[in-house]
Structure 1
Amino acid sequence: MNDILERMRAGELILETDPDYPALYRLFEETMSLVGELNTGYHTADGVRALLERIWGEPLDASVRMFPPFHTAFGKFTRVGKGVFINFGCTFLDRGGITIEDDVFLGPGVQLLTENHPENPEQRHNVYTRPILLRKGAWIGAGALILPGVTVGEHAIVGAGSVVTRDVPDGMIVAGNPARVIRPIDPTR
């Protein structure tokens, strides 16, 4: 099982015919059960954190906050720092690895998508991945999509509804589809 996880994290194309795929699929089922529990009924902030710790497989700082619902099918390659806030309706496809450093804010409906499919129609059921890194203090606006392989720089801002296909430099504001640099952050605003 560790072999397929290492290959997946390394960005190799993972075939549905891989002999380890059934074990991987069992992990998806376990995670989706926990996500269902998270998204059903009311949970205190501590209760949400406890469920996220089970989904992500690591302890979280008490300063981490999330407002469910939340969506993921895997969850094992998500790492979250201190002071992170994740708003309603976010989706993490983390098979390639998602790292969220300290003090990152995610608006409602943000999608972090590390997974992609080959262009070849005969192989399209298979998946390859690239990691996403959200550096310290980044702010991702409502409904933004961060695509595989993207790093969002320290204290950068991604405008609402943006589709981020390239790395975002530190201290810059990007917006649009595809997202492009609008201007540097104005420290007086």
Structure 2
Amino acid sequence: MTTLEEFRELAARGEALPDDSEVHAFMIETGERTRRLTARLNGEYLEPRERAELFGRITGEPAPSGFRIFPPFTCDFGRNIHLAENVFINSGCRFQDQGGIWIGAGSLIGHNVVLATLDHELSVARRGRLVPGPIRIGRRVWIGANVTVLAGVRIGDGAVVAAGAVVTRDVPSFTIVGGVPARVIRRLTEEEIGEGLGDGESDAAG
């Protein structure tokens, strides 16, 4: 049977996942386990601490300090989501995380954001094959409501993604992007950047 470590290694290669019944069985089994947990997260009132603890069970990693989430929340897999401190996830978000999602410290994820780490092959004959690509979000990023971020995208530190954008390519640090597909609108001013990030390497490098 495929292990979580083996699956993550496969996904990290960025190649089409093998047509291997064990790999797909592992994805399905893990996804069903996650859906049982998200059903509880979404189906009853939980205190903020309880929500954080349950999210830690979904990801298999303890929720970091300062983590907050407003349900409802859904994810396809659950075990390839990695968060730094003080991340906030607003209600209605959907994470397709088989390819891996990393969110840096202090980042804000708005209402109804979709993070999609899987593509399908373009070939009609192989359309059912899944191609993973990680999404890496840096520190103090603000992603507005109803944004979709596609597989393989890296969003740099301090960036802002305007509401309704579809992000198909990397976003430079300290820029505002918007539109479909998203394009750079402007760079943040020195005053807007300030000293909010402090020192250290970007969490998007993960």
- Short-chain TM bin: over 0.9
Q: TM-score normalised to the size of structure 2?
A: 0.87
Q: Could you list the per-position Cα deviations for residues 99-153 of structure 1 after superposition, in whole angstroms to 9, with x for gaps in the alignment? A: 0010000110111111111112222222111111110000000001111111111
Alignment of 1:84-103 (within 5 A): 84-103=87-106
Q: What is the letter of the counterpart of residue 173 of structure 1?
A: I
Residues 103, 4 of structure 1: alpha-carbon distance in 2 compared, 3 angstrom cutoff: closer
Q: After TM superposition, give the deviation of residue 97 of structure 1 in Å.
A: 0.7
More helix by share: 2
C-alpha separation in 2, matches of 1:147 and 1:20: 22
5+ unaligned residues in a row in structure 2: which ranges?
Answer: 194-206
In structure 1, the partner of 2:202 is: none
Q: After TM superposition, give the deviation of residue 32 of structure 1 in Å.
A: 1.0
C-alpha separation in 2, matches of 1:52 and 1:122: 38
Q: After TM superposition, give the deviation of residue 61 of structure 1 in Å.
A: 2.1
Secondary structure at the aligned position of 2:112 is classed as: coil
Q: After TM superposition, give the deviation of residue 16 of structure 1 in Å.
A: 4.8
Secondary structure at the aligned position of 2:43 is classed as: coil
Matched, 1:51 2:54: yes
C-alpha separation in 1, matches of 2:130 and 2:44: 33
In structure 2, the partner of 1:41 is: 44
Q: TM-score normalised to the size of structure 1?
A: 0.94
In structure 2, the partner of 1:28 is: 31
Preserved contact between residue 10 and residue 96 of structure 1 (Cα < 8 Å):
no
Q: After TM superposition, give the deviation of residue 14 of structure 1 in Å.
A: 1.8
In structure 1, the partner of 2:107 is: 104
Computed over aligned residues only, the root mean square deviation of the Cα atoms, in angstroms, reads 1.5
Q: Could you list the per-position Cα deviations for residues 51-107 of structure 1 after superposition, in whole angstroms to 9, with x for gaps in the alignment? A: 110111101123000000001010111100111110010011111110001000011
Secondary structure at the aligned position of 1:20 is classed as: helix
Q: What is the letter of the counterpart of residue 59 of structure 1?
A: P
C-alpha separation in 1, matches of 2:82 and 2:22: 27
Matched, 1:78 2:81: yes
Secondary structure at the aligned position of 1:24 is classed as: helix
Which stretches of structure 1, 4 residues or longer, exceed 6 Å deviation after superposition?
A: none
In structure 2, the partner of 1:161 is: 164
Equivalent pairs counted in the alignment come to: 189
5+ unaligned residues in a row in structure 1: which ranges?
Answer: none
Q: What is the letter of the counterpart of residue 79 of structure 2?
A: K
Q: After TM superposition, give the deviation of residue 15 of structure 1 in Å.
A: 4.2
Matched, 1:145 2:145: no
Q: Could you list the per-position Cα deviations for residues 131-188 of structure 1 after superposition, in whole angstroms to 9, with x for gaps in the alignment? A: 1111000000000111111111110000000001111111000000010000111335
